[in-house]
């Protein structure tokens, strides 16, 4: 690209209204966000709950502590390996799709699974919760804490992934931010360029021709 072409492009960029870059970013980002929301399939999340219960040789504080420990163990290979038989999916899918959450004030543990099909999300959450409960029962003689089913995961009725409207708004916001950054980085006209009057060709050629006559 020649220097003249670069100069012309910079001149045209400077002549654009200040709001045009932001508006262009909002429109482009919104369109990309809508396209992402349409192309990406919706995902569904189902959650199963289990509760840690102390035996006669333990207490509530110990049960709460073991609830935290079982929350970390729920996504380990030993548990997921058993859960895959009932979930009907590979261990890697469970590892990527299943999340657990515990509360420091409650012995309840939640097991959430995300999938593109509502039934599969519920099956995965229940399978991991059941496998974790069985593992806790196998060691109950040593821990003096059992895990009991508190609530089964139900088939979700609505997707948990963002809707097309939300992805469009997020894309428009991101595009507007990029447009604002581009506006800040846009070349600005120097004061002397703005104040410099337009140059008009002088009558040098005409005067020279008149002198020769």
Contact 42, 161 (CB under 8 A): yes
184 has pLDDT over 80? no
| pLDDT band at residue 20 under the 50/70/90 scheme | low
Specify the pLDDT at position 52. Answer: 93
pLDDT of the residue at 172:
62
Q: Residue 175 class from Cβ within 10 Å (0-12 exposed, 13-18 middle, 19+ buried)?
A: buried
pLDDT tens per residue, range 77-134: 989 999 998 898 999 999 999 999 998 888 999 999 999 999 999 999 999 999 999 9
- The whole-angstrom separation of Cα 147 and Cα 155 is 23
The pLDDT assigned to 17 comes to 63
Q: Does domain 44-151 have CATH number 3.30.70.1130?
A: yes
| Residue 127 confidence (pLDDT) | 95
- pLDDT of 50 reads 95
Q: How many CB atoms lie within 10 A of CB 83?
A: 28
**Least confident piece of the model among 5-19, 105-119, 167-181:** 5-19
Question: How is the chain split into domains, by residue range?
Answer: 15-40+178-188, 44-151
In the block, which residue shows the tokens 């089913």? 149
pTM: 0.63
Per-residue model confidence (pLDDT) at position 63: 87
């Amino acid at each position: 690209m020649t220097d003249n072409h670069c100069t012309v492009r910079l001149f045209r960029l400077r002549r654009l209204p200040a709001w045009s870059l932001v508006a262009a970013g909002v429109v482009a980002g919104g369109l990309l966000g809508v396209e992402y929301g349409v192309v990406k399939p919706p995902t569904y999340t189902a959650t199963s709950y289990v509760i840690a219960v102390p035996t006669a040789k333990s207490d509530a504080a110990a049960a709460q502590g073991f609830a935290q420990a079982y929350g970390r163990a729920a996504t380990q290979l030993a548990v997921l390996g058993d859960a895959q038989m009932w979930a009907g999916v590979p261990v890697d899918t469970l590892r990527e799709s299943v999340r657990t959450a515990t509360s420091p004030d409650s012995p309840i543990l939640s097991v959430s699974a995300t999938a593109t099909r509502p039934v599969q999300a519920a099956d995965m959450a229940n399978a991991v919760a059941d496998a974790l409960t069985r593992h806790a029962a196998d060691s109950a003689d040593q821990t003096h804490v059992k895990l009991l089913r508190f609530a089964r995961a139900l088939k979700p009725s609505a997707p948990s992934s963002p809707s097309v409207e939300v992805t469009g708004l997020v894309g428009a916001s991101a595009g507007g931010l990029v447009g604002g950054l581009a506006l800040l980085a846009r070349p600005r006209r120097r004061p002397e360029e703005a104040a410099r009057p337009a140059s008009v060709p002088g009558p040098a050629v005409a005067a020279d021709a008149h002198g020769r006559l």
